[in-house]
Amino acid sequence: MAKTSESGKKAGAKASKKKPAPRAQAKTRYLIALGSNRYRQGPPRRMIGRAIKALEKAGLDVKARSPVIATDPLGPGTRRYANAAIRAKSDLSPPELLTLCKKIEHKLGRRSGRRWGDRAIDLDLILWSGGCWSGEALTLPHPEFRKRGFVLDPLAAIAPRWRDPVTGLTVRHLRHRLRRNIPVDRRGNHP
């Protein structure tokens, strides 16, 4: 009968030098809003398509795309916007994805300027599957998304049951409340 060591291996048997394969990081789900109203780089609808292709090329796994809708500008912008949303998976953390979005915006012609002005492309992280996030340059959920039909309409087309971690309401409910002008309690659903 072979002797066994404390670890249960047979005496004289070589211990395996292979390390276990690293576990793949779980993919995180994101909802991203897209908007464009400047024609310098191409029509706004085409700019949204180019931005989605750039996100996919950078490794985002786009699971769903909303229809592109036309909306009036918010603030002093002069042209109508094309707005859409995507539901995607990524290994990137929220700050890493924000950095990627900013690089794509710059590559597609977005330049710093006045707030609420016309822009070639705008990529906003709205929600993520990790709940709430607060950092130096990013807050999730997006602080203003509950007040914006041009964000909620496309989101409701691709993720109507996604819950806002602050209010506990689904995207569909938030959209309904906005359309009916019912105030949303932003204090959260915590007792």
- Report pLDDT for 10: 46
Reply yes or no: is the peptide bond before residue 154 cis, omega within 30 of 0: no
In a domain, 13, yes or no: no
In a domain, 174, yes or no: no
Q: What's the number of domains the chain is made of?
A: 1
In a domain, 171, yes or no: no
In a domain, 5, yes or no: no
What's the rounded Cα separation, in Å, for the pair 55 and 53?
5
- Report pLDDT for 5: 45
- Report pLDDT for 112: 66
Per-residue pLDDT 10s for the chain (191 aa) are: 444 444 444 444 444 455 444 444 568 999 999 999 877 778 999 999 999 999 999 999 999 999 999 998 877 667 888 999 999 999 999 999 999 999 999 898 766 655 555 678 899 999 999 999 998 889 999 999 999 999 999 999 999 999 999 999 999 999 999 998 866 665 555 44
- Report pLDDT for 72: 85
144 and 75 in contact (C-beta within 8 Å)? no
Active-site residues: which are they? 110, 119, 122, 124
Instruction: Look up the domain containing 52 and give its range.
Output: 28-145
What's the rounded Cα separation, in Å, for the pair 17 and 152?
53
In a domain, 109, yes or no: yes
Domain at 132, CATH number: 3.30.70.560
In a domain, 107, yes or no: yes
In a domain, 184, yes or no: no
CA angle in degrees (0–180, nearest 5) for 33-38-42: 95
Residues 6+ apart with CB under 8 A from 68: 45, 48, 82, 83, 84
- Report pLDDT for 175: 96
- Compute CA distances 187 → 140, 167, 184, 190, whole Å: 15, 7, 9, 8
How far is C-alpha 23 from the geometric centre of its chain's CA atoms? 24
Q: What is the pTM of this model?
A: 0.79
In a domain, 23, yes or no: no
